Amino acid sequence: MTVSLSRGAVIDTACRLFAERGYRGTSMKDIAETLGVRASSLYNHVTSKQDILFAIMDKAMDRALSAQEEALAGVGDVSEQLRAATESLVLDFLRNPAEVTVCNTEVRSLDPANRAAIVAKRDRYASRVRAIIAAGCRAGRFEAAHPDLAAFAVLEMGNGAKSWFRPSGRFTDTYVAREYGAFALRMAGCAASELRV
Amino acid sequence: MTVSLSRGAVIDTACRLFAERGYRGTSMKDIAETLGVRASSLYNHVTSKQDILFAIMDKAMDRALSAQEEALAGVGDVSEQLRAATESLVLDFLRNPAEVTVCNTEVRSLDPANRAAIVAKRDRYASRVRAIIAAGCRAGRFEAAHPDLAAFAVLEMGNGAKSWFRPSGRFTDTYVAREYGAFALRMAGCAASELRV
DNA sequence: AACAGGCTAACGAACGTTCATTCGTTACCG
DNA sequence: CGGTAACGAATGAACGTTCGTTAGCCTGTT
């Protein structure tokens, strides 16, 4: 009988522990024990602890970016774009809380080269949201006094949702995402008549 | 000539370092070196590293709580209460970024007893915001579908502001706080006619 | 026979903390 | 005024752990 580790299992387990206790608060021994194995065995599947951290974050950013692309594909109206982008963001946060927590709290634990790669992807993600709000303001459909400021507030909403959401709670994740999509439109100052579509 | 350490100086320096590198990512040696002193000298002023962390967070929570009380004192109208509470929250975040960062990221590094004390204060702070939104909804002044959900979104806005705000930037902290106060009213579904007071 | 993947053992470094000692200043006493 | 006792605070050395990582071995499967 072989329980037999895999790279994926190591990374998934590490992700959960990093989210709970932080990167520096989690030892290779902790990860190994959770998997029922000795610490040295992990090195058959990953090259270092830093390697694990980067793999978690890189995978998570790619997932978020492609979910965002998919959500926006074929959506022309700028209000619907903001709604779709926000719903995608919130859904991603609610469905992958551990990965997202690691992404949000452990950027500082990345080696400089790894950090540059992750920050670039994060910026790409954020700039799409900024662009939508800016376009809506230019078109006179939103009336945010400062589009960038509203964009940051929207991007932060995912964290707000993640911090209290529990899958076993009153709401489904899709329902919460829709609710936050509406928050985003309101915050951007979208004309009230559009809000109840 | 005596540079001579003090408990306050140790705590302030530690706060900045904890905010940048995290509690576990900061050693007593790091703190001491920043102060131009050896690690063992710190123990003349604090009893342990954990003691430092708790002192930082306890002071920060007390400051936030009393700022909130002061902001709400004598404000009767529920819309103005939400605006005042949000402005107070955002201002506190913008003016004490290091303390707030530590409070938001290092709860997990607290010993169980210390954690209970801090979480109790944090809950007291959050419940005041929840109560305002709930009251506004009952009075028909707000129309959030789920008051608690809107409350969490409001509480998260401080983080959103803190993450991009720089004192040297385009906006003053009071201006940003006002802007976020308006976001909060919109998000709660406050009647549009009240928004431009 | 080859090998992947687990194991034990060991490493050097860094950690938080303690301890006895030394230093510099202040306050008192003759 | 000079000598000294006393005290707060900084120090280097040492402690027991824990850290991430490497090396070499052993076993079960192919």
Residue A29: CB less than 7 A from any atom in strand C: no
Using alpha carbons, select from A104, A7, A1, A105 the residue that is nearest to residue A52: A7
Query: Mean pLDDT across the stretch A128-147?
Result: 94
Q: Which nucleotides of D are covered by protein (CB under 7 A)?
A: 8-14, 18-24, 28-29
Q: Quick one: tokens of B78?
A: 């529920």
Residues in chain A closer than 8 A to B179 (CB atoms): 145-146, 149
- pTM for the model: 0.92
pLDDT at res. B2: 45
- The pLDDT confidence band at residue B3, using thresholds 50, 70 and 90, is low
Instruction: Give nearest nucleotide to B44 (CA–C1').
Output: D9
pLDDT of residue B109: 97
How far apart CA B115 and CA B106 sit, in angstroms, is 10
Chain A nearest-CA distance from B14, in A, is 17
Residue B1 Cβ under 7 A from any strand D atom: no
Mean pLDDT across the stretch B11-15? Answer: 97
Check residue A194 and give its pLDDT.
Answer: 63
Q: What is the pLDDT of residue A83?
A: 97
What is the pLDDT at residue A189? 85
**Using a CB-CB distance cutoff of 8 angstroms, which residues of chain B are in contact with residue A162?**
none
State the average pLDDT over residues B171-187: 93
**Strand C contact at CB of residue A27, distance < 7 A:** no
Given pLDDT bands bounded at 50, 70 and 90, which one contains residue A139?
Answer: very high
Yes or no, beta carbons of B25 and A157 under 8 Å apart: no
CB contact at 8 A, B70 and B152: no
Q: Which of A146, A163, A186 sits opposite B179 (nearest CB)?
A: A146
Check B156 against A156: CB less than 8 A apart.
yes
pLDDT digits (tens, 9 = 90+) for A5-24: 899 999 999 999 999 999 99
Average pLDDT, chain A: 93
Which value, to the nearest 10 degrees, does the dihedral of the CA atoms of residues A85, A91, A92, A95 take? Answer: 180
* pLDDT of residue A192 exceeding 70: no
Work out if A133's Cβ lies within 7 angstroms of strand C. Answer: no
Query: Smallest Cβ distance to B24: which of A22, A176, A186?
Result: A22
With a pLDDT cut of 70, the percent of chain B lying above it is 95
Give the pLDDT of residue B4: 64
- A70-94 per-position pLDDT tens digit: 999 999 999 999 999 999 999 999 9
Work out the pLDDT band at A2, boundaries 50, 70, 90: very low
Is residue B132 within 8 A of residue B89, CB to CB? The reply is no
Query: What DSSP string runs through B107-172?
Result: GGGS-HHHHHHHHHHHHHHHHHHHHHHHHHHHTTS---SSHHHHHHHHHHHHHHHHHH--TTSSS-
| B139/B61 Cα distance (integer angstroms) | 30
In this predicted structure, the answer to whether residue A44 has a pLDDT above a threshold of 90 is: yes
The reported pLDDT for the residue numbered A191 is 73
Residue B193 has pLDDT above 70, yes or no: no
Residue B197 three-state SS: coil
Q: What is the pLDDT of residue B70?
A: 98
